[in-house]
Amino acid sequence: MTRIAIVGVAGRMGRTLVAAVEQDAEATLAGGVVEPGSSLAGADIGELAGLGKCGVAAAASLDAIVDDFDVLIDFTAPQVTLANLAFCAAHGKRIVIGTTGLSDEQLAELDGYRDQLAMVFAPNMSVGVNLTLKLLETAAKALGDEGYDIEVIEAHHRHKVDSPSGTALKMGEVVADSLGRTLKEHGVFERVGQCGPRDAKEIGFATVRAGDIVGEHTVMFATEGERIEITHKASSRMTFARGAVRAARWLAEQDNGRYGMQDVLGL
Ligand code: NAD
C-alpha cells in the first residue's frame, strides 16, 4: 500500500486526486495540505472533494503530516512545488509533480534535486497523452524534414495561468528533438501584424483559453495536398489524477532520480 499525501488539496486537481486515490486499491490517502492561512484547514478532505467524509483532515503544512506519507503528489504552482521538493528531499520522501509553467531557472532548480530523491515530473500525466508523444515522434521522423509544416494548437479552460500549456511545449519538444531542432531556435509563439511568410523549420504554437475546456491538443503536419492531425482531448481531470496515482505507486519502488511518465508507463 502506498501512502499518498496531496498538496493543494482544495484545488481543481487536488480534489480530483483525492477521488483517484480513494478509488485505487493499492494506495491509501495519508494526508492533504491546503494553502497557508486557508480557512479550509481542518476540513475533511473527502468532503472537500465532494465525496463525503473520509476521516482525513486538511493540514495547514507538510510538517504536520510528515510521518504519515511516503509519496507527495503536487499539482500547485512553480514556487510552491520547489519548496515542497526541498521539503521532500530533506525528509526522505518521494514526489510526483504535475505543476506546469516553470521557468528555465525553475526547471534547472528542480533538476538539481535528481540525485537527492525520487521524483516523477510530467506536464501531463494522462496515459493517452504519453502515448500521443510516442506517435508524434514517429510522425515527426517521417514527415518533419519532408516539407510538412508543424503547428501545435491547444485549448484549456479560462482559469489556466500558463501558456502555451506544459503539454503543448512537451509535444513541441518531442517533435523538435526528433528532427534535431530546438524550441529556443525554431519555436514561434506569436504571430501578429506583418510577420512575413512561415519558415520551413518553424514549430508554431497557438493557444485558446475558453470556458471549461479540460485540455485539448492537436499537432498538425501540413503540406501542399494533405494534412495530418494528431489530437488528444481530455474530457475529465480524472485522467490526469489516475496517471498521477499510478506514478506515485510506481515511484514508491524506485531509486533516487528524475523520471517522466514514459518511464512510469514503460513506453
Ligand atoms: P488550482 O488553482 O485549482 O489549484 C492549485 C491549488 O494549490 C490551489 O487550491 C491553491 O490553494 C493551492 N496552493 C497554492 N499554494 C499552496 C501552498 N503553499 N501550499 C498548499 N497548497 C497551495 O489549479 P489546478 O487546475 O489544480 O492546476 C494546478 C497545476 O497543475 C497547474 O500548474 C496546472 O497546469 C497543472 N496541471 C497539470 C496536469 C498534469 O497532468 N501534469 C493536469 C492538470 C493541471
Q: How many CB atoms lie within 10 A of CB 137?
A: 15
Residue 1's CB is within 10 A of a number of other CB atoms, namely 12
How confident is the model over 1-8, as a mean pLDDT? 97
Distance CA 114, CA 212 (A): 35
What count of other Cβ atoms lies within 10 Å of the Cβ of residue 159?
8
Number of domains present in the structure of the chain: 2
Sign of the Cα pseudo-torsion (106, 107, 112, 113, in order)? positive
- Asked whether 13 and 237 are in contact (CB, 8 A), the reply is yes
Which residue's C-alpha comes closest to atom 40 of ligand 1? 124
Return the percentage of the chain with pLDDT > 90, whole number. 97
pTM: 0.89
Residues 230 and 136 in one domain: yes
160 is catalytic: yes
Q: Which of 91, 134, 156, 201 is catalytic?
A: 156
Question: Can you tell me which atom of ligand 1 is nearest the CA of 78?
Answer: 32
User: Domain of 67?
Assistant: 2-121+237-265
Q: Which H or E element spans position 231?
A: strand 226-234
Q: 217 and 113, same structural domain? A: no
pLDDT beyond 90 at 18: yes
Give tens-digit pLDDT for 117-132: 999 999 899 999 999 9
Based on the domain organization, do 144 and 107 belong to the same domain? no
pLDDT at 17: 98
Cross-strand pairs, 207: 154
Same domain for 71 and 133? Answer: no
Phi and psi at 181, nearest 5°, equal -105, 170
Query: Which pLDDT tens digit goes with each residue over 185-218?
Result: 999 999 999 999 999 999 999 999 999 999 999 9
Please state, rounded to an integer, the average pLDDT across all residues of the chain: 96
Active site residue 156: yes
